[in-house]
Structure 1
Amino acid sequence: MRARLTVPDAAYGLVVLAHGDCVGGATACDCPGHRRVAALLVRAGLGTLLLDLVTREEARDRHLPFDIVLLARRLRAATRWARDETRLPVAYFGSGTAAAAALEAVALDPGIRAVVGCGGRPDLARPATLAAVHVPTLLAVGARDTRILCLNRLAADWMHCEHRVAVLPGAGSVPEDPAARDEVARLAGEWVTAHLGAARGTPVG
């Protein structure tokens, strides 16, 4: 796994931005959209860990990026390392299949404070997992990404925790849609900060 950790002075929390599918060779560490969202979160006083759950080589096997249990195991391992390094409360930001991995991971980690899915596939998490999720969860989806929006709403219907499906007007697939990146970062920053139990940082954006 590749990772990039950034922790600003006086950070009050850490957001793990996980990417699971490397579609078209894109990764969390290299993708302009993920890097833009991470930069805005850092500006708001949050540490970030850009994390690729699948390598480019592994992504050639089109089945592995959809092995949600494996991705969740890797996410938990990275979270343990990040906690040891930073001693900060942790939230997850997952795109693609990593959104499902984040929900699977929180089922075994009561310490995660919040989850944000960004145009992701939470529907790939097991229904029993979705029903058992206890962490406040925000699912952000572009209004024009109708198939993914439908799948996110189906996943949300299984959830009993605090949750919200945020529809981004005019946006397609996020965070690949440049027009949606700043709005996703703003929503993620507000959601994470509200559930960290810490003082609010500088507004995102």
Structure 2
Amino acid sequence: MAFEHRERIAGLTESSVHIPVAGAARLDADLVKPAHAGSIVAFAHGTGSSRHSPRNRAVARVLQQAGLGTLLLDLLTEREERVDEATAEYRFDLQLLGRRIIAAIDWLNEHPQTAGLPLGLFGASTGAAAALIAAAERPDRVTAVVSRGGRPDLAAEHLSRVRAPVLLIVGGRDPQVLQLNRQAAEQLSAPHHLEIIPGATHLFAENHALEQVALKARDWFLAPGQSNSPDQGGSRTLP
């Protein structure tokens, strides 16, 4: 990975938390909150990943340095992860994953450290679809959504109900996902922008590509629906 910011952040509190979900299960998560955080961003990882995703953690660090709180969570329980590794039966269950993000949203709304804070969602790959499903189901709570190399097309039936501004970030050398994002953008009625990172492939492993993602995401969460980036052939429907 090309970069990771590790500067110490004054007043940062970090804690391991557990989010209850249906069936008496719970999800493991890491909550990081800078002092006087103005909002919180929940991360939805992609297929086969977890809250330990180094890419999401690098992005989260940039958000924390900007004064945003972050919640990185596992979307599956330990038992489900073991089953999924063998059968892959959960990783494309978008309704289940969407419900897990909704559970995290509701938990954040009640947790003493985060209750009442504006909430953003950052989704990668299939996690982006889960985030968009949750945004559609909790329109009064979600204030912004960012998708990194996402599959918003997998949430097609929910896209028209998303009210939060949506930033779709796709690598310029990821043509199939780029086309799927363009098609999904046409179904969004909320303010949205398709940001293309030139030269980047699906995992944004190229030099400085992930850093660009982090900075674009930071700016979007700080000012939802506002983008100073020139249109690069993608969708641009902003207020």
What band does the TM-score fall into relative to the shorter chain?
0.7 to 0.9
Paired with 1:154 and 1:54, the residues of 2 have a C-alpha distance of 29
Deviation at 1:106, TM superposition (A): 1.3
Q: What's 2:63 paired with?
A: 41
Deviation at 1:82, TM superposition (A): 1.9
Q: Which residue identity lines up with residue 49 of structure 1 in the other structure?
A: L
Q: What's 1:200 paired with?
A: none
**Which runs of at least 4 in structure 1 moved beyond 6 Å after TM superposition?**
none
Q: What's 2:165 paired with?
A: 136
- Structure 1 pair 42–18 and aligned structure 2 pair: CA distance change class (3 A): same
Give aligned pairs, total. Answer: 191
Deviations 1:129-162 (A, max 9, x none): 1122211000001101111111111111111110
- Whichever of the two has the greater Rg, that structure is 2
- Please, which moves more after superposition, 77-86 or 105-114? 77-86
- Choose the corresponding residue for 1:106, options 119, 126, 135: 135
- Choose the corresponding residue for 1:150, options 179, 182, 207: 179
Q: What's 1:21 paired with?
A: 47
Do 1:136 and 1:195's aligned partners in 2 also have CA atoms closer than 8 Å? yes
Q: Which has the higher helix share?
A: 1
Deviation at 1:175, TM superposition (A): 4.8
Q: What's 1:79 paired with?
A: 105
Paired with 1:155 and 1:9, the residues of 2 have a C-alpha distance of 37
Do 2:132 and 2:159's aligned partners in 1 also have CA atoms closer than 8 Å? yes
TM-score, normalised to structure 2's length?
A: 0.75
Q: Which residue identity lines up with residue 133 of structure 1 in the other structure?
A: V
Paired with 1:158 and 1:174, the residues of 2 have a C-alpha distance of 25
TM-score, normalised to structure 1's length?
A: 0.87
* 2:186 is the counterpart of 1:160: no
Q: RMSD between aligned alpha carbons?
A: 1.7
Q: What's 2:210 paired with?
A: 181
The alignment-based identity, stated in percent, is 43
- Choose the corresponding residue for 2:148, options 118, 121, 136: 118
Q: Secondary structure at the match of 2:224?
A: helix
Do 1:75 and 1:101's aligned partners in 2 also have CA atoms closer than 8 Å? yes
RCO (CA 8 Å, sep 6+): is it higher in 1 or 2?
1
Paired with 1:83 and 1:115, the residues of 2 have a C-alpha distance of 17
Q: Which has the higher strand share?
A: 2
Paired with 1:150 and 1:175, the residues of 2 have a C-alpha distance of 17
